[in-house]
Amino acid sequence: AKAAGGNRYAIFDPAMHADLLAEAQQRYELERALAEGQFVVYYQPIVELSSTRLVGVEALVRWDHPERGVIGPDAFIPLAEATGLIVPLGRWVLEQACRQLARWRAAYPSATDVYMSVNLSARQFQAPGLVEDVAAAIAAAGIPAGRLTLELTETLLMRDTVATVEALAALKALGVKLAVDDFGTGYSALGYLRQFPVDIIKIDKSFVDGVATSHEDAVLAQTIVQLGRTLNLQTLAEGIESTDQSSQLEALGCTYGQGYLFARPAAAQQIEGLLRGR
Ligand code: C2E
Ligand code: CA
Ligand code: CA
Ligand code: CA
């Protein structure tokens, strides 16, 4: 509640105090969850649209809460970002994902060209030691750097600072691939695509939703695909739920896709049938 007549908050506001307590409690719970191994990494297949062949998987974190069951990232990533816990949590996801890929590569020789894609938040990106963490995760797992893709958001790439340029260059120098996640939802300045060494554009689900039913959405998706082609970037559409969407995207020239139509994110063992069947 605001103090009467001004735009300052009262020094002691019981409601705000309760919020802070709740946040401290949640932060503590998240830290404990990480320490006690309550997080799990799910994997969602990425396919080539023309053949529906599996080409990669995206690592998506879940919280397997002892009382509340499996909780999706939208419920805890924002708090993890606000508190900084995303840095150790993100490092843990990265290590798990690299190790999982190594296990799959050892078990399924036909899967050696499958790549692992890991989400990076802006906060992780700014934290010191990111490049070292990525290098360490790759080395510990013993996977080729080229089989790891890091997904970055447009907002992160828009922050055109010396630090951003240097970190991206250092990551590229390791040999990892870079993808722009949720493409089209950020600011529409496209200059960063030319300036930064990205490899993949992930077309946001909000364009995919209407691609088979709305002329405008189809035109937007097509524009993104053409932009990718012009800049020599691969295009991947996320959130594909119907065959109409899939064939429309393929017709527009989009190469790769991901979505419930092909497979939902699932625990590692559930993906293995797809790896074996390649
Ligand atoms: P995202 O990176 O855009 O991931 C795609 C989200 O869309 C995932 O939600 C996925 O389950 C969902 N999805 C995939 N296909 C379909 C579909 O056909 N239909 C619908 N309705 N949804 C689909 P999820 O797993 O709940 O993750 C939400 C967001 O949380 C992710 O969005 C990502 O931004 C963030 N996130 C997840 N794991 C991590 C992580 O390890 N680190 C960081 N920094 N962020 C993460
Ligand atoms: Ca993503
Ligand atoms: Ca996305
Ligand atoms: Ca998203």
- Residue 17's pLDDT is what? 72
What are the CA-CA distances from residue 42 to residues 64, 91, 147, 229 (Å)?
A: 11, 15, 18, 31
Atom from ligand 1 closest to the CA of residue 258:
15
Query: Does the beta carbon of 210 lie inside 6 Å of ligand 1?
Result: no
Question: What type of residue is 124?
Answer: Q
Contacts of 190 (CB under 8 A, 6+ apart): 227
* CA 6 to ligand 1 centroid distance, Å: 41
Of the candidates 257, 248, 271, the residue with the CA atom closest to the CA atom of residue 51: 257
Atom from ligand 1 closest to the CA of residue 241:
18
Residue whose CA is closest, atom 38 of ligand 1?
A: 60
- Residue 136's pLDDT is what? 98
Strands 234-237 and 69-71: unpaired
94: tokens are 């990265």
- Residue 162's pLDDT is what? 79
* CA 106 to ligand 4 centroid distance, Å: 31
Among 41, 43, 77, 153, name the best residue to mutate to test ligand 1's pocket (greatest count of ligand atoms within 8 A of Cβ): 77
Q: What is the ipTM of this complex?
A: 0.98
> DSSP labels for 46-104?
EEETTTTEEEEEEEEEEEEETTTEEE-GGGTHHHHHHHSTHHHHHHHHHHHHHHHHHHH
Question: What type of residue is 251?
Answer: A
- Residue 1's pLDDT is what? 40
227: tokens are 């932009």
Contacts of 194 (CB under 8 A, 6+ apart): 231
Residue 183 pairs in a beta bridge with 203
Query: Does the beta carbon of 239 lie inside 6 Å of ligand 1?
Result: yes
Q: What pTM did the predictor assign?
A: 0.92
- Residue 253's pLDDT is what? 96
Per-residue pLDDT of the chain (278 residues; tens, 9 = 90+): 444 445 555 566 777 777 777 888 888 999 999 999 999 999 999 999 999 999 999 999 999 999 999 999 999 999 999 889 999 999 999 999 999 999 999 999 999 999 999 999 988 988 889 999 999 999 999 999 999 999 998 878 877 677 788 889 999 999 999 999 999 887 666 777 877 889 999 999 999 999 999 999 999 999 999 999 999 999 999 999 999 999 999 999 999 999 999 999 999 999 998 888 77
